[in-house]
Amino acid sequence: MNKPKIVAYLKPHCGWSQGVRAIMRKYDLPFEDRDIINDPVQRQEMIEKSGQMLSPCVEVDGKMLPDISGDEVEAYLLANNLVQTNALQPDAPTNQPCAHEMPQNPISMQFKR
């Protein structure tokens, strides 16, 4: 099976971006990891190609998958027969926000009857 050409527009330390990287490792897929935080040229290219500013964005064989999680990348790759199912577990969460976007203190809601 030929491996697809993958360009991933990612943040260095984002949970969503780490999820995309984990899927690439799970399937042993080579990919270009483009840093959209430290390289404004890469960020601009992502915006122009995807039509939006949210990340991660992953381009697979020329098809842009904008604002996508690792789970969604995996589903796309499987649905399009670009990878075959395997029993390996990803080495990082594949559908988790960046640490600064996670709630620090869960809020308990009280409802009155």
Tens of pLDDT, residue by residue over 2-56, are 899 999 999 998 999 999 999 999 999 999 999 999 999 999 999 999 999 999 9
pLDDT confidence bin for 109, thresholds 50/70/90: low
Q: 6-101 has which CATH code?
A: 3.40.30.10
Tens of pLDDT, residue by residue over 49-88, are 999 999 999 999 999 999 999 999 999 999 999 999 999 9
104 has a pLDDT exceeding 70? no
State residue 103's pLDDT score.
56
User: What is the value of pTM for the model shown?
Assistant: 0.84
Q: Where are the domains of the chain?
A: 6-101
The 3-state DSSP class for residue 86 equals: coil
Closest CA to 57 of 10, 13, 5, 3: 10
CA distance 76 to 48: 22
Q: Please tell me the number of Cα atoms within 13 Å of 12 on its side-chain side.
A: 3
